[in-house]
Amino acid sequence: MKAYLGVDIGSISTKGVIMDENLQIIANSYLWTEGNPIAAVKNVLLELKKQISPEVEVMAVGTTGSARKLIGVVLGAQIVKNEITAHAVGTMSRVPDVRTILEIGGQDSKIILLNNGIVTDYAMNTICAAGTGSFLMSQAKRLGLGIEELGELAMQSESPTRIAARCTVFAESDLVHKAQIGHKKEDIVAGICNAVVNNYLNNVGKGKRISAPTVFQGGVSKNVGVVRAFEEVLGHEVYVDEFGHLMGCLGVAVLAKNCGNENLFDFNIQDVSFVTRGKECDKCPNNCEIISIYRNEELLDSWGNRCERGVV
């Protein structure tokens, strides 16, 4: 049975899926990256291998996310794609007529606009992580809650507190102030969900025409309080797929399947030592930062040079 592997390596989480030839997900994994993308991918592969039967053969691999090039080298991936393409392809495999994709992840967020299956516009957040998953995690911790509790608690609110969330620092001070003057916890949490949506629409979605069907994805899409806030502001239903947090890796799995370059993938990389080394090239005024990756001390690849003198 042929299958295809897609891996999405983000700053906060690492996701992986294995899909069959009909684009149906037969195995999936979602783990924290914890600052070590190679170790995280090894753990994701262990989880995925446990979920598939021995007759399943992975014939192509795709990677996306912030560490896509690094992990693409480690896995010998046939396809390495940016997040915009990966999320668009993955979403269309589940919702073919999608017009707008809202995505909020751990430290970044994006909006993708499509027309007849073609990406016509997109935008991503800047270096500020206000309104992302890491922002929600820090606020949950401050309130003594688990991140998974926020959504259901927000749904209990009848009068959401207004929270200023243009900046994480201001949001935290505002949250503390509102708690001290007596706002209920569920109202504060609902206010945080509303603030995330307003921050997203005023920054990432600014000037964009958001049309239905609209799909919300990324880890934050699991928060029903944020979903409700989006629907109230946009005035139409926002669809959340059960695999919405896996759309990036699903997309590169689809692209890997369609690339026409198949080669049986070996899951047994647990005992292989992968090491990255960085250095600043001083052979010209560019001072490029060169990153090299080694497998058992054998150089696999390097990148970062802007001229031939920086080739390792």
Residue corresponding to tokens 């190679």: 38
Domains of the chain in start order, with CATH, are 2-89+249-258 (3.30.420.40), 102-240 (3.30.420.40), 274-310 (no CATH)
pLDDT at residue 131, rounded to an integer: 66
Q: Are 146 and 240 in contact (CB under 8 A)?
A: no
Which residues does residue 293 pair with via DSSP β-bridges, in sequence order?
Answer: 276, 301
Q: Are 111 and 101 in contact (CB under 8 A)?
A: yes
pLDDT at residue 168, rounded to an integer: 64
pLDDT at residue 165, rounded to an integer: 64
Residue ranges in the chain assigned as alpha helix (H): 37-51, 68-75, 83-94, 133-142, 150-154, 168-180, 185-203, 224-234, 247-258
Residue 48 per-residue DSSP state: H
> Of 81, 73, 70, nearest to 250 (Cα)?
81
pLDDT at residue 203, rounded to an integer: 85
Cα separation, 171 vs 180, whole angstroms: 14
Please report the DSSP string for 189-246 in residue order. HHHHHHHHHHHHHHHTTTT----SSEEEESGGGG-HHHHHHHHHHHSS-EE--TTGGG
pLDDT at residue 25, rounded to an integer: 96
Is-above-0.85 flag for pTM?
Answer: no
Query: What averages of pLDDT result for each successive group of 10 residues across the chain (312 residues)?
Result: 94 92 96 89 95 96 92 93 94 96 86 94 76 79 83 89 72 79 89 88 90 92 92 95 92 95 89 83 85 82 78 60
pLDDT at residue 310, rounded to an integer: 67
Structural tokens at position 183: 């706002």
Sign of CA dihedral 230, 236, 241, 247: negative
Cα separation, 208 vs 201, whole angstroms: 9
Which residues does residue 28 pair with via DSSP β-bridges, in sequence order?
Answer: 17
Reply yes or no: is the peptide bond before residue 213 cis, omega within 30 of 0. yes
> SS3 for 147?
helix
Residue corresponding to tokens 């994006």: 110
For the chain, helix, strand, coil in percent to 5 are 40, 25, 35
pLDDT at residue 140, rounded to an integer: 84
Structural tokens at position 101: 């994709």
